[in-house]
Amino acid sequence: MVTDDDLHYMRLRFTEYAETDSQSDPDKADRGIMPSTDGQTRLAQLLSTELTTYGLTDNTVDQNGYLRAVIPASKGMESVPPFGLCAHLDTASDAPGTNVKALHHTNWDGSPITLPSGLVLDPATDPELAACVGHTIITSDGTTLLGADDKAGIAAIMALTLKLLKNPSIPHGPIEILFTPDEETGHGMDKVPLDRLISKAFYTVDGGAVGEIEAECFNAWKCQLTFTGKAAHLGSARGKMISAVSMASFFVSSLPPQESPETTDGYEGYFCPLEISGTVENAHCTVFLRDFETEGMNRRLERIDALAEAVRARFPGGTVTLEKTRQYLNMKDKLRAEPHVLERLEKAATRAGVAVIKKPIRGGTDGSRLTEMGIPTPNIFTGGHNYHSRSEWASIEQMGKTVETLIQLAIIWGEDHVQVQN
């Protein structure tokens, strides 16, 4: 169903989305400012205008940066229950994200891709890239990330919308669209207009390699520690000075190195010291905790308490304060309670000729939070790879497979409703 013209459209639209700066600001988002950057609003408005040109006038961008729209049902399918598709507007702050220049490597021949920055994408060390010979590969110039996370998802949803509106013979019920701000900061669902959502199930279009379907994720907590010391002249500091920098360093060095993001994979959890800063008198540290099991997370939280106490014992007179914040929960159990949501997605991928790969998300999505709020929301692939880095890339052909899967998903939701009615 996805034609060369559709792929060409996605290629052009994805490029414009990628080159629209929408990197979020974690500090502002932590202070409740949403969207945390003006670029996200500009992208939302660009998408809203685009939807309007398609004839989809039922779309709005609210004061918090959420774009919501509804693709109307095809004729005779008005009674089919709606489902939703979600993607996020922002890009991560882990690598530079301003002045993105999207480069097209058409009909890629399989040789290493050398970017203008000198960065090399080598298929010999990237098997997912090696599997895409003959595809159109899009990269940045190597000085920034690309933004396929999640502009590949946005491009797929926009392509689906245009496809359905131009082809009324494709049978489908109403489909709700939600583009969200500040997902990368962990605040993507903080101000979601939940009372306006009509769908009882959603799908985040925010995954990676073709075929990957994700129905479980980490339990996630953030721990923020403040270390307070005592300043003194360095020449006479003995017995007087308490260094908050040393306290923070002692804490971080006490975290188990074998349980860090760079030493774990699969279902292994970790401690991640994400930020550290300070002076002799005051130092601060942010640590992310991740675990797929509730009991494992409880043990990690207890470990943080124990390490904070060890710092207090090691540095008498210094103080340690600890603030713990739950970010999101594993969506596994709630999705199991609504098995049809995932079953329809897997069936759709199979119909689209995609081999389903089930794997856990080593992170979280807006779907994690939506599921926690009572709307089951598994995650689907987009064709993006190497997220949050200057070596990020995307395959247009894999984006096309995402659209094929979404078309089949829409058809299957209608078919299943008709079967139940009969």
Q: What is the pLDDT of residues 6-27, one digit of tens each?
A: 999 999 999 999 999 999 999 9
Local confidence band at 418 (pLDDT 50, 70, 90 cut-offs): low
Q: Which residue out of 21, 25, 90, 149 is catalytically annotated?
A: 90
Closest to 226 (Cα-Cα) out of 281, 186, 274, 271: 281
Q: Average the pLDDT over each of 136-140, 174-178, 359-363 and give the range with the smallest value.
A: 359-363
Q: Would you call 295 a catalytic residue per the annotation?
A: no
**Residues 66-88: what's their mean pLDDT?**
97
4-217+330-421: CATH number? 3.40.630.10
User: Domain 219-327 - what CATH class?
Assistant: alpha beta
Local confidence band at 407 (pLDDT 50, 70, 90 cut-offs): very high
pLDDT value for 50: 97
Domain limits, CATH 3.30.70.360, in the chain? 219-327
Domain limits, CATH 3.40.630.10, in the chain? 4-217+330-421
Under 8 Å between Cβ of 211 and 355: yes
Local confidence band at 422 (pLDDT 50, 70, 90 cut-offs): low
Element (H, E) at 345: helix 339-351
Per DSSP, the three-state class of 73 is coil
**Residues 362-370: what's their mean pLDDT?**
89
Q: Average the pLDDT over each of 236-240, 284-288, 312-316, 415-419 and give the range with the smallest value.
A: 415-419
Quick: pLDDT tens for 87-142.
999 999 999 999 999 999 999 999 999 999 999 999 999 999 999 999 999 999 99
- How far is the C-alpha of 409 from the C-alpha of 160, rounded, in Å? 11
Q: Which residue out of 183, 214, 291, 404 is catalytically annotated?
A: 183
**Residues 266-282: what's their mean pLDDT?**
96
Does 80 have pLDDT greater than 60? yes
Q: Angle CA(287)–CA(192)–CA(148) in degrees, nearest 5?
A: 65
- Of the CA atoms within 13 Å of residue 129, those in its CB half-sphere come to 23
Quick: pLDDT tens for 189-235.
999 999 999 999 999 999 999 999 999 999 999 999 999 999 999 99
- How far is the C-alpha of 147 from the C-alpha of 17, rounded, in Å? 8
Does 285 have pLDDT greater than 80? yes
Q: Would you call 109 a catalytic residue per the annotation?
A: no
Average pLDDT of the chain is 96
What pTM value is reported for the model? 0.90
Phi, psi for 320 (deg, rounded to 5): -130, 125
